[in-house]
Amino acid sequence: MKISMDYYLKATLSFLAGAALLCFFSVIQKGIIGSPFAVETFLNPLLIGGLCGLLISLREGRLNQEIRSRIQAEEKLVESEVRQRTIVDSIGMGIMVIDPEGYKIVQVNPEASRIIGIHPDEIVGKKCHELICEAQEGKCPVFDLGQEVDNSEQVLLTADGTEVPVFKTVIPIQLNGRTHYLEGFIDISKRRQAEDALRGTVDRFKSLTNHLNVGYFRNTPGPRGEFIEANTSICNMFGYGNREEFFEKTVSDLYQDPDERKLISTRILQDGVIKNKRLRLKRKDGTLLLGSVSTAVVKNGKGEIAYFDGIIEDVTEKVAAERKIEKLQKQILQAHKMEAIGTLAGGIAHDFNNILSAVIGYTELALFDVEEGSHLHGSLTEVLHAGNRATDLVKQILTFSRQSEHVAKPVHLNSLVKEALKMLRSTIPTSIDLQEHISNKFLTVKADPTQIHQVVFNLVTNASHAVVEDGGFIAIELKPVILDRDAKEVRSGWEPGSYARLTITDNGSGISKEHIDHIFEPYFTTKEKHKGTGLGLSVVHGIIETYNGHITVDSEVKQGTTFNIYFPLARQAVVVDTAVDWTGPLPVGREHILFVDDESAIVDIQKQILKQLGYTVTVRTSSTEALEAFRSMPEKFDMVITDMAMPNITGDKLAQEIKEIRPDVPVILCTGFSEKLNRQHAFQMNIDGFLMKPVDKRKMAITIEKVLRATKAEPKIAAMA
């Protein structure tokens, strides 16, 4: 410790003055290079052993304590300012301190300098309006108008004039006893770029979804499902003019059955996704929309379900097309079955007609030798009638099973309905009362006979399935009606006029209201499996529409059903086949006939019948032998009668060979059944006559007479039977 000279001077003066105690302040230096500090000095004179002395006591002075406190405070303030300056200079935010008087920038940090693009010294002193705000002096929102600026987006001008988007906040601070403003801002250029990129992506996504043929939607996972997003396609799909109108609806509102929405929502929550689920939905107008829906759960960052994202495709037309294809496939299958049945029926018919030819032929021969009126004659007559009924039955089977193009022509509806009912009687249980009320007045309609048979078959067969066998009845009525616009039967779109009305009524189980609108749809049936195809009524409906007719149905459950079919009456006359129309005794002749058939029984029968008619007959059971016989003596024969289906050379080929040898010889062709041969084809092949088996004596005699008469009168007028 160094004691200054002032200290010694004061001590000496005190001692010399004889003061008992002297107290004063002095400044001493601590250590060799220590800083001076103030002390309080106490001096007491002492006399020890005759020697005079001083007792010196030192105590730090109160003034020095105040000074030290002030120095420490100043040091802390400096330290705080340095720390704050360090923070301000290192923070990633532009900071400027602005003096509201003159809008001058008084302080700026490096980040602000970097963003603006010039040195801080060039920024300090500038007006803030020149850089970050375009407000004029006196109109500053903060300084002049007293508005608060908190987290607002502004544009900052850099030194080169570039506009930089910033996010800024302004707060008041006290500086040197005056209010200044601390303005902080962040360069949000990259964020803006990211937002623009995101916005562009969103816009492209919306544009893409709006141009898709499928609907896009986003909805809440709640019970009803509120829509969050939807594209234009889904709005149009459901018939809504805009998104606002569509958003008024919930997902549940679009379901035909709202309870189904609950089931689907539960499944999505359980599985997280559904794919291509076909749902029955409804458009704005209430019509059915079949939608194929795929939906997935979307979760937020916490793993909680945020919403459902999904797409929907309108498959209403697609499903209709699929059903149409399925219908066509079934129709093709049914056509193949019918074709197979037709082929089988044709084969059976050919053989059966040959058998019937023998039965009918031998019966006619026996009747020729039996006394008329005898018991045996009566029995043989019944056998002949049975054979003829069997012949009609075979014809009807062939007509029904034939797979050919249907040709509409004027026909008597009365006869066709009676023919159909005659065939049906054997298929309807005898316990069912089949009642016929057919008008005696000829009702001419333009139709294909086969299709008329089919209409009657299908309706009566359906009725027989509906009625109970005990006490059940089916009534068939056919009569003419005139429909005018005031008639109660007339429906929308019907043409007034004269019709033939076919009514089929039963007292069966009836049709429920929920089913009656669907009965004409293909493959719709309420029958048990394997008891119905669902095609019958749809076929009937199609046939009636083909002929510009109409069909109605009235039914009550457990009361019965009535079908009314209206056929427009035709004005054309029915062309009656007069090929075997003959009055008087059977014609006879003396000509020489070559008869050819591979069935020995038929050859024997026809030989005897032709001889009874006065003809000379040469028979052959081989077409090859017959051709050789004719070639050896062509002038010997006046006519050739040949079967169609024979081995080696078929009847049509044999006829051509014979015509090449002798063109003027008449040829009659017989057949039990042939898909390739009908009357028109026979005429085109230069055949003079055509006979369908079984051929009885009357048919044979009349056809031979007409062919011989025609060939003598004109070169080519064929007789057909």
Q: What is the pTM of this model?
A: 0.45
Strand partners, 568: 499
Q: pLDDT tier at 151 (50, 70, 90 boundaries)?
A: low
Least confident of 129-133, 398-402, 409-413: 398-402
Measured torsion, CA atoms of residues 686, 688, 694, 695, in degrees rounded to the nearest 10: -160
Q: pLDDT tier at 622 (50, 70, 90 boundaries)?
A: very high
Q: pLDDT tier at 406 (50, 70, 90 boundaries)?
A: low
Strand partners, 136: none
Tokens of 300: 């937020």
Tokens of 311: 């797409």
For the residues 165-182, what does the mean pLDDT come to?
A: 82
Cα–Cα nearest to 605, from 371, 391, 354: 354
Per the prediction, the chain carries an average pLDDT of 79
Asked if residue 50 has pLDDT above 70, the reply is no
Q: Over the stretch 258-315, which tens digit does the pLDDT of each residue have?
A: 888 888 888 999 899 999 999 999 999 999 999 999 999 999 888 899 999 999 999 9
Cα–Cα separations (whole angstroms), residue 110 to 180, 181, 392, 577, 646: 20, 18, 116, 117, 117
Which residues, 6 or more positions from 472, have their beta carbon under 8 angstroms from its beta carbon? 431, 432, 433, 506, 507, 508
Beta pairing class for 639-643 and 616-620: unpaired
> For 190, how many CA atoms within 13 A lie in the half-sphere containing its CB?
3
Rounded CA separation 61/24 (Å) = 10
Tokens of 227: 């829509």
Please return the burial class of 348, using the count of CB atoms within 10 Å of its CB with bins 0-12, 13-18 and 19+. middle
For the residues 570-594, what does the mean pLDDT come to?
A: 72
Rounded CA separation 488/497 (Å) = 14
SS3 content of the chain, % helix, strand, coil (to 5): 40, 25, 35
Q: Over the stretch 537-563, which tens digit does the pLDDT of each residue have?
A: 777 888 888 888 888 888 888 889 999
How many residues appear in the chain? 721
Q: pLDDT tier at 677 (50, 70, 90 boundaries)?
A: low
Please return the burial class of 371, using the count of CB atoms within 10 Å of its CB with bins 0-12, 13-18 and 19+. exposed
Q: Identify the pLDDT of residue 492.
A: 61
Which residues, 6 or more positions from 600, have their beta carbon under 8 angstroms from its beta carbon? 621
Measured torsion, CA atoms of residues 619, 622, 626, 628, in degrees rounded to the nearest 10: -140
How many other β-carbons are positioned within 10 Å of the β-carbon of residue 268? 20
Which residues, 6 or more positions from 468, have their beta carbon under 8 angstroms from its beta carbon? 508
Cα–Cα nearest to 448, from 406, 414, 413, 416: 406
For the residues 354-369, what does the mean pLDDT come to?
A: 88
Sign of CA dihedral 600, 605, 609, 611: positive
Q: Over the stretch 179-238, which tens digit does the pLDDT of each residue have?
A: 888 888 888 888 888 888 888 877 777 776 666 778 889 999 877 889 998 888 899 999
Asked if residue 113 has pLDDT above 90, the reply is no
For the residues 347-375, what does the mean pLDDT come to?
A: 85
Q: 3-state SS of 511-528? A: CCHHHHCCCCCCCCCCCC
Asked if residue 529 has pLDDT above 60, the reply is no
Strand partners, 48: 51
Rounded CA separation 693/354 (Å) = 7
Q: pLDDT tier at 616 (50, 70, 90 boundaries)?
A: very high
Q: Identify the pLDDT of residue 354.
A: 82
Helix residue ranges, H only, 272-374? 316-369
For the residues 44-62, what does the mean pLDDT come to?
A: 61
Least confident of 343-357, 469-483, 549-563, 620-634: 343-357
CB 455 within 8 A of CB 390: no
Q: pLDDT tier at 719 (50, 70, 90 boundaries)?
A: very low
Asked if residue 625 has pLDDT above 90, the reply is yes
Q: Over the stretch 55-103, which tens digit does the pLDDT of each residue have?
A: 666 665 555 566 567 667 766 766 766 676 676 676 778 888 888 787 7
Least confident of 128-137, 242-251, 461-470: 128-137
Tokens of 217: 């939607």
Q: Identify the pLDDT of residue 437.
A: 93
Cα 245 off chain centre by: 25
For the residues 690-694, what does the mean pLDDT come to?
A: 85
Rounded CA separation 449/419 (Å) = 10
Measured torsion, CA atoms of residues 192, 198, 202, 205, in degrees rounded to the nearest 10: 140
Which residues, 6 or more positions from 614, have their beta carbon under 8 angstroms from its beta carbon? 588, 589, 590
Q: pLDDT tier at 42 (50, 70, 90 boundaries)?
A: low
In one letter, which amino acid is 90? S
Q: Over the stretch 437-484, which tens digit does the pLDDT of each residue have?
A: 999 888 999 988 888 888 898 899 888 888 866 678 999 999 999 887
Q: What angle do CA 18, 24, 27 make, to 5 degrees?
A: 130
Cα–Cα separations (whole angstroms), residue 14 to 10, 47, 54, 55: 6, 15, 9, 11
Between 595 and 404, the more confident residue is 595
Cα 348 off chain centre by: 46
Q: Identify the pLDDT of residue 493.
A: 66
In one letter, which amino acid is 97? V
Tokens of 592: 């020489």
Q: Identify the pLDDT of residue 658.
A: 95
Rounded CA separation 350/344 (Å) = 10
DSSP string, 127-176: BGGGTT--PPTT--TTTTT-----SEEEEEE-TTS-EEEEEEEEEEEEET
